[in-house]
Amino acid sequence: MGWYGVVAIVTAYALASFGVLHPRDLEYQLLNASGALAMVLEASHRKDWPPVVLNLIWITIAIISIVRGFI
């Protein structure tokens, strides 16, 4: 689960950095949100709270962006 999270977030960042996706694209936000959720699940299972908090913030930002841009 944690590896999916890492790959999803890094892929989103790389695709945006290389101009394939724009940070306002739905795909970019979904990669970030799903990657952060996977990392929350993994870190909470291990009771590693700092990454849980960081990734909950990351998910919140992605959800706000999705709501503002697509709903």
1-56, pLDDT tens digit by residue? 899 999 999 999 999 999 999 999 999 999 999 999 999 999 999 999 999 999 99
The pTM is what? 0.91
Q: How many domains does the chain have?
A: 1
User: Residue 28 belongs to what domain range?
Assistant: 2-70
Q: What pLDDT is recorded for position 1?
A: 87
The model's confidence at residue 70, banded by pLDDT at 50, 70 and 90, is confident
Q: What pLDDT is recorded for position 71?
A: 75
The stretch 54-60 carries a mean pLDDT of: 97
State the burial class of residue 49 (Cβ atoms within 10 Å of its Cβ: 0-12, 13-18, 19+).
exposed
How far is it, in rounded angstroms, from Cα 44 to Cα 64? 23
3-state SS, one letter per residue, for the chain: CHHHHHHHHHHHHHHHHCCCCCCCCHHHHHHHHHHHHHHHHHHHHCCCHHHHHHHHHHHHHHHHHHHHHHC
